[in-house]
Amino acid sequence: MSDNRDDLDTIVFFVRDEKRKSQGYSWRLWWGVTSFYIKTRYPAFKNVKVSLHGPDPRYTSPWLKFGLDKQGGRISEGSGAVVGRANLPMTFTGKRVKAGVRHVIRIRHPWTMFHETVPSAPMPDYPKGKGLTVGVCIPPPKQMYSVDVDIYLCEREPYWPNEGKARRARAPLGPIRNKAGQYLTAVIHQDSMLRQPPPGMATAPTVEDPDDIVQGLTYGVHDEVLWISETRFSRAALAAADSVDTDSLGEL
């Protein structure tokens, strides 16, 4: 899945259960002149974006941000929710892995999102980019597991943890290179939801009625890594909890 060509412009990935014909959101990673960007391609969340700003004379220092795109400030009505424990925009630094490498983001796809009662996200169309685009369809997680995509910001050369093992599993994604000479890489793996629960994030109330399900995202920062998890919510419980202990950007 990795590609060392310098003209790689965009990476798109999503998790799909072929047996149930169900998939999660499609995610897009691409580069700017001195930055990288990550967002879901689901139209309802088009204004929600992660920006990884590198060295640039327009900014006093590099910074990493999760927030709303400046072109808008709403999420499409009736389409989902983005819920977390902190107001947006929020900044984070990434966790140092070694010199010049930081683990910046984990995007989680829990096994519960592929239950037969959960509606599927729409099948994505083919992504468009300035150069080479790589699209990856990832198998779903086992029961009680999640598929996690860990994203790394690399200052000098591409990095993947346990690279040999990851390549044998066809798990690396990238790299993408910006004009500042930085690289963005990612690796796919499965984690036990019991051993690795999402820390510091809003919890989703149990959904008893399939007609009450609304899909969305939770977010939080733990150890300076931004966690984003695809989540199923109870529409009724979200409405009742709004303005109490969560900050919801979703229009229910």
214 vs 66: which has the higher pLDDT: 66
115 vs 144: which has the higher pLDDT: 144
Q: What is the pLDDT of residue 77?
A: 45
Which CA distances in Å does 57 have to 36, 66, 137?
16, 21, 37
Q: How do residues 100-135 score in pLDDT, each as one tens digit?
A: 999 999 999 999 888 877 878 887 777 665 677 888
**Is the pLDDT reported for residue 2 higher than 60?**
no
Please report, as a single letter, which amino acid is at residue 177: R
Nearest to 114 by CA among 36, 24, 38: 24
For the record, the structure tokens of 95 come out as 């966790």
Q: How do residues 53-80 score in pLDDT, each as one tens digit?
A: 887 666 666 688 888 775 444 454 445 6
C-alpha torsion sign, points 16, 21, 24, 30:
positive
Paired sense of beta strands 225-234 and 101-110, if any: parallel
What pTM did the predictor assign? 0.87
Residue 170: left (phi > 0), alpha (psi -120 to 50), or beta?
left
d(Cα 47, Cα 41) in Å, to the nearest integer?
A: 10
pLDDT band at residue 148 using 50, 70 and 90 as cut-offs: very high
d(Cα 174, Cα 27) in Å, to the nearest integer?
A: 14
How confident is the model over 82-91, as a mean pLDDT? 76
How confident is the model over 28-54, as a mean pLDDT? 88
Catalogue the long-range contacts made by 90-94 (C-beta closer than 8 Å, 24 or more residues apart): 90/65, 90/66, 90/221, 91/63, 91/64, 91/65, 91/66, 92/64, 92/66, 92/221, 92/224, 92/225, 92/226, 93/64, 93/224, 94/64, 94/153, 94/224, 94/225
Nearest to 52 by CA among 182, 145, 175: 182
Please report, as a single letter, which amino acid is at residue 251: E
Question: 139: which DSSP letter?
Answer: P
Q: Domains of the chain: which residue ranges? A: 8-248
**How much of the chain is helix, strand and coil, in % rounded to 5?**
10, 45, 45
83 vs 231: which has the higher pLDDT: 231
235 vs 34: which has the higher pLDDT: 34
